[in-house]
Amino acid sequence: MKELNYDVVVIGAGAAGLATAEVTASAGRSTLVIDRDDFAGGVLMQCIHNGFGLHHFKEELTGPEYAERLESAARNAGAEFLLQTTVMDFNLADNENKELLALSPEYGVMRITAKAVMLAMGCRERNRGNIGIPGRRPAGIFTAGLAQRLINMSGLLPGKSAVIIGSGDIGLIMARRLTWSGIPVKAVVEIRPFPSGLTRNIVQCLNDFNIPLYLGHTVSKINGADRVESVEISPLVDGVPDSSRSFTIECDTVLLSAGLIPENELSKRGGVTINMTTGGPLVDAWRMTNIPGVFAGGNVLHVHDLADYASDEAALAGRHILDYLNGKRPGREFPVAAGGNLRYVTPNEYIPGEKTQFFMRSLIVEDDAELIVSLDGQEIMRKKLRFVKPPEMLSVEVPGELTARGGQLSFALNGGGR
């Protein structure tokens, strides 16, 4: 069995993992990046549209360009890569080291020892089984990401006409991509009363191409034997499909864009505690999990709107990995809670007196809202927010002087400027 030793092992070579690797390798720490794909970059490599890099590089790039920048920076800093390699398990080898078991076609079974591990496996798409659509199981049903990979990387068209279930950003971008490829998109069907994707994607990918968006509707049945023939769409009344108002749209292809799930099966096997709300690990202010020396960032922690934000958060985790390797520890931390109209807040703990960037998701749609930050029930900060909605992640920086005395830090969102 091949045995390797590194200061830092990064699992996942996407937007988050590459950003962490650059930070730790630049500091002279031996860093290994492991990814099961044939190349680094993750899902970025199939995202040939622009819109990446504006925050992280201050320049607009396509997905592959953004990935190449990150990979080059990590390699130039000295990071090593093991591609076509899958981490099957990891555990605590001793008080200071973590032991990973990995498989690769080239090296077979490998035992890799690391002083610190960065979880950066990203997320996966919800499939038909996750959302439970009735009907037979004909050919022609894809997740939006799979269809994107087929078209952009393999040069294959998934069908001749399509309906997209869910208005997540990947689905919206694929509505435009399919149209450009000569595949008419008959409809985008969203179960919620508001779109799930970013406003810019609604405008650029649907409105600009006159693609119908059915809000508050659901696909109640997929018809077809060998191949998809049509879908039945029903409006929702009090959350229940109204079959008396159902209608049918003919198509031979269905794309699912019904949300993303942080990829944490490996995390669970390693004993990492999972946040049941986000689906990602519970982390402290350093983005360290309940296992000392095991960190998480990017979409494996919580689903981000932009790859730039995933990279920024992972770079922050990388800097704290260096702190950890240099013998520093966070010190006493206090809990963070999500209050009214918020789905979650991360990180889940903070260090009193230290400036901290928090990320959160709204449960309401508001043009005029206020974020209230309280310490042990006493308001310490208030921030006005415009155009708040669940698909768009919120962030706020809380100055250290406001939290110096410690206590439970809670966040709540009020609508209408109340």
**pLDDT for 128:** 79
342 near 355, Cβ under 8 Å? no
Confidence band, pLDDT 50/70/90 cuts, at residue 167: very high
Q: Output the CA angle 262-268-274, nearest 5 degrees.
A: 60
State the residue for tokens 């794909």.
Answer: 37
Amino acid at 55: H
Confidence band, pLDDT 50/70/90 cuts, at residue 200: confident
CATH topology of domain 127-258: FAD/NAD(P)-binding domain (3.50.50)
- Is pLDDT at 67 greater than 60 in this prediction? yes
Confidence band, pLDDT 50/70/90 cuts, at residue 75: very high
Q: Which of 129-133, 163-167, 265-269, 330-334 has the lowest mean pLDDT?
A: 129-133
- Is pLDDT at 164 greater than 60 in this prediction? yes
- Is pLDDT at 300 greater than 90 in this prediction? yes
Give every CB contact of residue 62 below 8 A, 6+ residues apart in sequence.
Answer: 47, 48, 49, 50, 52
**In the chain, pLDDT over 90 holds for what percent of residues?**
87
User: What is the mean pLDDT of the segment spanning 313-332?
Assistant: 95
**pLDDT for 65:** 97
Q: From start to end of 191-308, where are the E strands?
A: 213-215, 217-223, 230-237, 240-241, 247-250, 253-256, 260-262, 294-296
H-helix or E-strand spanning residue 19: helix 15-26
Sign (positive or negative) of CA dihedral 372, 373, 378, 380: negative
**pLDDT for 86:** 97
Q: Output the CA angle 35-41-42, nearest 5 degrees.
A: 65
Paired strand residues for 346: 359
Q: How far apart are the first and last CA of the chain?
A: 63
User: CA-to-CA distance for 307 and 258, rounded, in angstroms?
Assistant: 19
Phi first, then psi: what are they for 66, rounded to 5°? -65, -45
- Is pLDDT at 47 greater than 50 in this prediction? yes
Max Cα-Cα span within the chain: 66
To the nearest whole number, what is the mean pLDDT of the chain? 94
The answer to whether 2-124+261-325 and 334-415 have equal CATH topology is: no
Task: From 228, 279, 344, 231, select the one nearest 125 (Cα to Cα).
Answer: 279
Confidence band, pLDDT 50/70/90 cuts, at residue 418: very low
20 near 122, Cβ under 8 Å? no
120 near 20, Cβ under 8 Å? yes
> For the domain 2-124+261-325, what is the CATH code?
3.50.50.60
For residue 324, count CB atoms less than 10 angstroms from its CB and return exposed for 0-12, middle for 13-18, buried for 19 or more: buried
For residue 97, count CB atoms less than 10 angstroms from its CB and return exposed for 0-12, middle for 13-18, buried for 19 or more: middle
The size of the chain, in residues, is 418
Q: Output the CA angle 363-367-369, nearest 5 degrees.
A: 65
- Is pLDDT at 197 greater than 90 in this prediction? no
CATH topology of domain 334-415: Immunoglobulin-like (2.60.40)
User: What is the mean pLDDT of the segment spanning 343-371?
Assistant: 94
**pLDDT for 400:** 95
User: CA-to-CA distance for 368 and 41, rounded, in angstroms?
Assistant: 37
Paired strand residues for 231: 222, 249
User: What is the mean pLDDT of the segment spanning 200-214?
Assistant: 95
Confidence band, pLDDT 50/70/90 cuts, at residue 386: confident
Q: Which of 114-123, 192-201, 266-275, 289-298 has the lowest mean pLDDT?
A: 192-201
Peptide bond into 193 cis (omega under 30): no
**pLDDT for 157:** 97
Give the chain's radius of gyration (CA, Å): 22
User: What is the mean pLDDT of the segment spanning 293-308?
Assistant: 95
**pLDDT for 416:** 60
How far is residue 131 from each of residues 127, 211, 219, 258, measured CA to CA in Å?
7, 23, 10, 8
Q: Strands 217-223 and 213-215: what pairing?
A: unpaired
Domain boundaries, the chain: 2-124+261-325, 127-258, 334-415
- Is pLDDT at 417 greater than 70 in this prediction? no
Paired strand residues for 413: 371
